[in-house]
A and B are shown apart, each in its own frame.
Chain A
Amino acid sequence: MATATLLPESVRLTPVGQNRPVPSKKVVVIREGYVPTISASVPTKKLSTRSKRVRLGVIHTPELRIKRAIPVEVRRKDDQVLAIAHDFQEFGCGETMGDALDDLAKGLAELFFRLDEEKDRLGSDLRSLRAKLSDYVERRGKE
């Protein structure tokens, strides 16, 4: 059984228990039958396990394949999760991060097909969007 030695009131200890003399104003007095506790608030950074930036590496469309993982920002607002691929100004939403990423992947696939379909009549901005998207996504069998 563990025993604790209680020091008499006259013994002066430093806060870390050393028995060297300390200035009288900072004396820690231990009375018999009283165990002092020290409480302190230490500022800590709130850690979150939820990612804000992820990379999309799967596209659930049999005809397409991801060449390079697509950087995605994940935003949460109330009960809604928004997955945004800023490079393509495309987004997906859902109740969970998985839903939002899935929505985004399907949206990107639709965008890819539509841009491919309309490639001959795209304006300059959509032409460069198509070129950029082709750096990340390609049709399967195109080796």
Chain B
Amino acid sequence: MKVHEFEKIVNKLELKVRNGRDRHAWFEYEGQVITRTKRSHGSGFDLPANLIRQQLKINERQLAGLISCSVSKEDYVRILIEKKLIVIPGATKSPQSA
């Protein structure tokens, strides 16, 4: 993965970025930190796409979609909800119990 592709994901998912030794990027949803990834600063190395994909909890197709235009931030949130990494309060409650 190229640096500009990483940055495209950072911008699309509105990841919170902190620059230390590496460029750390964290995905937050409603105040909770859900996933994280990172890249080295200007090392000139190819970024390990597979490891970045694992950190973001997505498959190869979804990663390709994030880099292109077929997967949006809303789609990504949906993926994380399906994986139960994002828990929406009350979503599991039945309507009668409300």
User: If the complex has contacts A80-B45, A114-B24, are A107 and B38 also in contact, measured as CB distance less than 8 A?
Assistant: yes
Most chain A CB inside 10 Å of its own CB: which residue of B24, B33, B40, B57 = B33
Contacts of A107 in B (CB 8 A): 21-22, 38
Please name the residue on chain B nearest to A79 by beta carbon: B45
- CA separation between A123 and B87, bound complex, in Å? 9
Count of A interface residues, CB-CB < 8 Å: 20
B35 contacts A126, C-beta separation under 8 Å: yes
Residues of A contacting B51 with CB < 8 Å?
A: 84, 89, 91
Say if the beta carbon of B71 comes within 8 Å of chain A. Answer: no
**What is the bound-complex CA distance between A123 and B22, given in angstroms?**
22
Q: Is the CB of B18 within 8 A of A82?
A: no
Chain A contact residues, CB within 8 Å of chain B: 77, 80, 82, 84, 89, 91, 93, 103, 106-107, 110-111, 114, 118, 121-126
Q: Which residues of A are found within 8 Å of B26, using beta-carbon distances? A: 114, 118
B87 and A122: CB pair below 8 A? no
Cross-chain pairs A/B with CB under 8 angstroms, 8 sampled: A84-B48, A84-B51, A110-B22, A114-B26, A118-B26, A122-B33, A123-B32, A123-B33
Q: Does B17 belong to the interface (CB within 8 Å)?
A: no
Contact of B20 with A93 in the complex, beta carbons under 8 Å: no
Establish whether residues A123 and B48, one from each chain, have CB atoms under 8 Å apart when the complex forms. no
Q: Is the CB of B21 within 8 A of A110?
A: yes
CA distance A84 to B48 in the complex (A): 10
Asked if residues A110 and B20 are in contact (CB atoms below 8 Å), the reply is: yes
The answer to whether A114 touches B31, judged by C-beta atoms less than 8 angstroms apart, is no
| Residues of the B chain whose Cβ atoms lie less than 8 Å from the Cβ of A89 | 51, 54-55
